[in-house]
């Protein structure tokens, strides 16, 4: 299977429209249609169901979309990391969501700077749910991810801490007097729907909540009484005056992990992972959890 074919298929599968996919790829529609038919013949499966008005993915097509994205990310990552290595400049790029894990990040960087062989760490701050993609496509060497929101499939990880979640409400809302809430209370809030965040392809899931792209938009809408938000417990330390936080007892726990590509042999990265585990042991985040046996460190490998 060629990389070009994968790019063509992923474009069609994400757009579910041949003309839009062709425009996105900068090619004419007929050769795109021929390439998809050729790919289906080679694989011996139907990837897309087509009629005069709609295009839908088959089960096989859904699998190839998931695997194809991962393969294209790996190719792009190899290209970026190879070019960076050729510059001869030592350094690491750490990506994290803007506003998340601030205390842990600060302690991590300070702990790593004390390492005798520490290199420069460039911190790349990103939007909601972007850090996983930036790690996988090679724009970052290491990332702070948050399960269950981010996928760590295929990555090596070390757990740093686990915490509960809170609901962010406008100051003065009747429920802010409660000592705690449950998910059923939050989802039933009249006039305060939960926001919707974009998927990888830029589309939004269906629902009544506002479409958002960053935490600045989120906090402003909550303060205006147009939305509520469920966020990790550590988010309460960054709230401004017009917002109040209430614990949500049955919300899923959020685990912050440091993640990196499984094939890494970087000694600089190994030092950063060690610094992260030291920093997590002194972090003030609630529900601190030790790493699991399934996590793997680059410096533990032969």
List the CATH code of the domain at 90-154+256-300: 3.40.190.10
The CB density around residue 289, as the number of other CB atoms within 10 Å, is: 15
The reported pLDDT for the residue numbered 277 is 92
| Intervals of CATH 1.10.10.10 along the chain | 3-82
The reported pLDDT for the residue numbered 286 is 45
The reported pLDDT for the residue numbered 52 is 78
The reported pLDDT for the residue numbered 82 is 80
> Strands, DSSP E only, in the chain?
48-50, 55-57, 92-97, 121-126, 142-147, 156-163, 165-170, 229-232, 243-248, 254-260
List the CATH code of the domain at 165-248: 3.40.190.10
The reported pLDDT for the residue numbered 198 is 84
Return the DSSP state at 51: -
- Which parts of the chain sit beneath pLDDT 50? 284-302
pTM equals 0.71
Return the DSSP state at 195: P
State the Cα–Cα distance between residues 40 and 47, nearest whole angstrom: 6
State the Cα–Cα distance between residues 261 and 50, nearest whole angstrom: 37
Length of the chain, please? Answer: 302
Report the chain's C-alpha Rg in angstroms.
22
| Intervals of CATH 3.40.190.10 along the chain | 90-154+256-300, 165-248
Q: May I ask the CATH architecture of the domain 3-82? A: Orthogonal Bundle (1.10)
The reported pLDDT for the residue numbered 296 is 42
């Amino acid at each position: 299977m060629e990389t070009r074919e994968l790019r063509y298929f992923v474009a069609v599968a994400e757009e579910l429209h041949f003309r839009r996919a062709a425009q996105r790829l900068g090619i004419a529609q007929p050769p795109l249609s021929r390439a998809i038919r050729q790919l289906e013949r080679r694989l011996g499966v139907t990837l897309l169901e087509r009629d005069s008005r709609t295009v839908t993915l088959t089960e096989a097509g859904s699998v190839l979309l998931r695997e194809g994205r991962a393969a294209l990310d790996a190719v792009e990552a190899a290209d970026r990391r190879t070019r960076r290595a050729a510059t001869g400049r030592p350094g690491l790029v750490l990506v994290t969501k803007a506003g998340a894990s601030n205390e842990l990040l600060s302690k991590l960087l300070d702990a790593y700077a004390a390492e005798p062989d520490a290199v420069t760490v460039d911190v790349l701050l990103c939007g909601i749910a972007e850090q996983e993609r930036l790690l996988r496509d090679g724009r970052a060497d290491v990332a702070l991810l948050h399960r269950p929101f981010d996928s760590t499939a295929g990555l090596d990880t070390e757990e740093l801490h686990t915490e509960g979640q809170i609901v962010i409400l406008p100051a003065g809302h009747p429920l802010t007097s409660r000592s705690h809430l449950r998910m059923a209370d939050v989802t039933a809030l009249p006039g305060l729907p939960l926001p919707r965040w974009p998927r990888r392809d830029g589309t939004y899931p269906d629902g009544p909540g506002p479409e958002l792209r960053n935490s600045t938009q989120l906090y402003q809408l909550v303060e205006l009484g147009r939305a509520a938000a469920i966020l990790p417990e550590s988010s309460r330390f960054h709230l401004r005056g017009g917002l109040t936080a209430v614990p949500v007892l049955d919300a899923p726990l959020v685990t912050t992990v440091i993640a990196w590509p499984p094939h890494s042999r970087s000694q600089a990265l190994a030092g950063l992972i060690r610094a992260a585990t030291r920093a997590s042991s002194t972090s003030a985040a609630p529900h601190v959890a030790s790493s699991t046996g399934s996590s793997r460190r680059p410096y533990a490998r032969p």
